[in-house]
């Protein structure tokens, strides 16, 4: 890839301004990160976090763009940054308070992505005077900004670490006054901001290095490996479809990452040039991998829609669906370019990707507006799922809706109009008063004796019994008697379902005689075996569980090797171990529906 245009080193006056901006940034971040300071402002919650957003992004954009103050792109970029911060604050944090708000955990990464997408266009506008830059330069700038940001962040952390060292060093040499004075969060914030902004401006304007070219060479190694992984995975998927073996989950999140990484490496390798990057056979494999990406991108969309059909939309699923759909369209455009231009397909990468970048910016702005209110969509979807019987009303639904703010409160008001729903919303499975006992929920197997009273009196620990005693878990427990070891005497068996879609768990107790000196012999139950029974699909597991409840099962023996200690010849132990003949190991429970 070509190097971006050279920039003149920043003047001393620029560094003075950068220092002032960094100090103001540190001061603001320190104030907004302190709850006592935030709460003392006595301002609406929608304004509490605005200074933090402005302090995070405006100075950072300034350091990325500053070269000369007469640049129109600089002031346009700063104005756009401030406007976007104000808009995002009022849209996402309108219901926030001075305390912690969960919205920040998703808002800040979203804004970082948005400004990461926008910055190179303004930077290349400064250098070339055009809003339609060459795609190779645009890609180079994206890589360069990422590397410079990471490097500047590391330098900022080093400066802050030096301040930490100074604090402890001064304390060691009895300079407590100086140590206590420096040991303040204000100075730590300022040290980081100074290190970050000054190093970013210095490295960006003084050093020239082809980050895109380096990344391109690395991508040439990784892309074929990723393509081979994709081909093998596609082959496994095809084999599963042909043989009828169920695929264990669609893994939409994994496929989104896989497709995203492929798109990134493809652009680093090819750019918008048709120069062959690999040998002919390997190039053909890589291009075939581009076509295979359609399978993974469509499966990621399908997987999310399956979950939505089973339950409802959620904010996470809405974000995932937008990303998956966007990637599917990009991959489809790549495939169309490949089929149309064949060997010259890379020429179209530039126009396709620039259109994709602008579309991605537009998507972020749309989902941050009333045009696509994710909270309202989620609340409406949950109500629809409850109405159709896909979602069970529990206290978890109440917590979910409360997290949606006013939209969720409106949905809760609708549910509370139904007396049954209103009662269910207040039920908590974690409340000990609402917890059922194992005996209350234990089911019996048709045709098999129930567990004896002597077993219940022992109050034995049943693994994973929580899935039965908690109504919200939706599990079931089966307790019955069967001759598990073939000695003619029934043993106690308890099986638990509900903790996994593909398995259930069984425990076996055998009756034994407990001998105590001076006391009469006592009959007790001792756990002898446990079995985690796995199935290839949820349907098979459910069929097997239904068969077990109906009494259709068999007991098959399993073979165990016996451990026999063998002391060395001539060795005389202090006490010879007593050999006790144990009964046969209980056979595993095998369900045959």
pLDDT, position 549: 87
Q: Which residue has the tokens 């204000």?
A: 186
Closest C-alpha among 210, 200, 208, 196 to residue 66: 200
Burial label for 3, CB within 10 Å (0-12, 13-18, 19+), is: middle
For residue 527, list its beta bridge partners. Answer: 509
Burial label for 419, CB within 10 Å (0-12, 13-18, 19+), is: exposed
Contacting residues for 295 by C-beta, under 8 A, at least 6 apart = 234, 237
Mean pLDDT by 10 residues, the chain (593 residues): 52 87 93 78 76 92 86 89 92 72 82 92 84 82 89 94 90 85 89 94 80 73 84 81 62 87 85 61 79 90 88 89 94 89 78 90 92 90 87 82 86 86 71 68 85 83 80 80 82 86 85 76 82 82 87 77 64 47 48 50
pLDDT, position 397: 84
Where do the DSSP E strands lie in 158-198?
Answer: none
Neighbours of 249 (CB within 10 A): 10
Q: What is the pLDDT of residues 218-228, one digit of tens each?
A: 777 888 888 88
pLDDT, position 157: 95
Which token pair is 305?
Answer: 């829609």
pLDDT, position 579: 40
- The span from the CA of 377 to the CA of 486, in Å, is 59
* Dihedral sign, Cα of residue 375, residue 376, residue 382, residue 385: negative
């Amino acid at each position: 890839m070509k190097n971006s245009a050279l920039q003149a080193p920043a003047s001393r006056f620029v560094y003075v301004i950068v220092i002032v901006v960094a100090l103001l940034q540190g001061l603001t971040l320190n104030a907004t990160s302190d709850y006592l300071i935030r709460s003392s402002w006595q301002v609406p919650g929608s304004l509490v976090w605005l200074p933090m957003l402005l302090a995070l992004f405006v100075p950072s954009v300034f350091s990325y763009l500053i070269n000369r103050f007469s640049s129109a792109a600089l002031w346009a970029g700063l104005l756009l940054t401030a406007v976007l911060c104000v808009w995002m604050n009022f849209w996402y944090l309108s219901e926030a308070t001075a305390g912690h708000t969960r919205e920040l955990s998703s808002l800040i990464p979203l804004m970082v992505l948005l400004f990461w997408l926008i910055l190179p266009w303004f930077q290349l506008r400064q250098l070339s005077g055009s809003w339609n830059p060459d795609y190779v330069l645009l890609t180079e700038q994206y890589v360069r900004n990422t590397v410079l940001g990471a490097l500047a962040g590391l330098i900022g952390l080093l400066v802050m670490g030096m301040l930490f060292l100074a604090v402890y060093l001064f304390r060691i040499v009895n300079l407590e006054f100086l140590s206590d004075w420096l040991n303040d969060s204000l100075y730590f914030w300022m040290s980081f901001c100074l290190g970050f902004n000054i190093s970013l401006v210095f490295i960006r304007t003084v050093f020239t290095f082809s980050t895109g070219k380096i990344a391109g060479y690395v991508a040439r190694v990784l892309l074929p490996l990723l393509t081979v992984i994709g081909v093998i995975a596609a082959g496994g998927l095809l084999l599963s479809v042909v043989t009828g073996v169920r695929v264990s989950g669609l893994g939409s999140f994994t496929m989104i990452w896989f497709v995203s990484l492929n798109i990134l490496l493809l652009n680093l390798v090819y750019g918008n040039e048709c120069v062959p990057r690999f040998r002919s056979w390997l190039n053909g494999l890589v291009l075939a991998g581009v076509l295979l990406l359609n399978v993974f991108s469509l499966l990621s969309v399908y997987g999310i829609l399956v979950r939505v059909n089973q339950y409802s939309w959620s904010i996470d699923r809405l974000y995932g669906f937008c990303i998956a759909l966007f990637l599917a369209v990009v991959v489809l455009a790549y495939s169309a370019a490949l089929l149309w231009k064949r060997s010259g397909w890379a020429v179209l990468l530039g126009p396709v990707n620039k259109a994709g970048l602008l579309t991605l910016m537009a998507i972020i702005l749309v989902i941050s507006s009333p045009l696509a209110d994710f909270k309202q969509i989620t609340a409406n979807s949950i109500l629809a799922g409850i109405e159709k019987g896909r979602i069970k009303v529990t206290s978890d639904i109440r917590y979910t809706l409360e997290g949606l703010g006013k939209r969720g409160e409106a949905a809760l008001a609708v549910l509370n109009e139904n007396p049954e729903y209103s009662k269910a919303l207040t039920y908590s499975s974690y409340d000990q008063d609402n917890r059922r006992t194992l005996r209350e929920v234990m089911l019996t197997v048709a045709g098999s004796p129930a567990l004896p009273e002597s077993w219940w009196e022992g109050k034995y620990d049943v693994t994973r019994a929580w899935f039965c005693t908690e109504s919200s878990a939706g599990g079931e427990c089966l307790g019955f008697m069967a001759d598990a070891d073939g000695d003619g005497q029934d043993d106690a068996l308890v099986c638990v379902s509900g903790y996994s879609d593909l398995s259930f768990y069984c425990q076996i107790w055998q009756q034994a005689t407990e001998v105590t000196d001076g006391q009469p012999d006592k009959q007790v139950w001792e756990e002898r075996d446990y079995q985690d029974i796995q199935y290839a699909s949820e349907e098979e597991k459910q069929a097997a569980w239904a068969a077990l409840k109906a009494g259709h099962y068999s007991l098959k023996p399993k073979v165990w090797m016996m451990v026999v200690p063998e002391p060395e010849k001539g060795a005389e132990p202090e006490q010879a171990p007593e050999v006790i003949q144990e009964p046969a190991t209980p056979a595993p429970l095998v369900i045959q529906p």
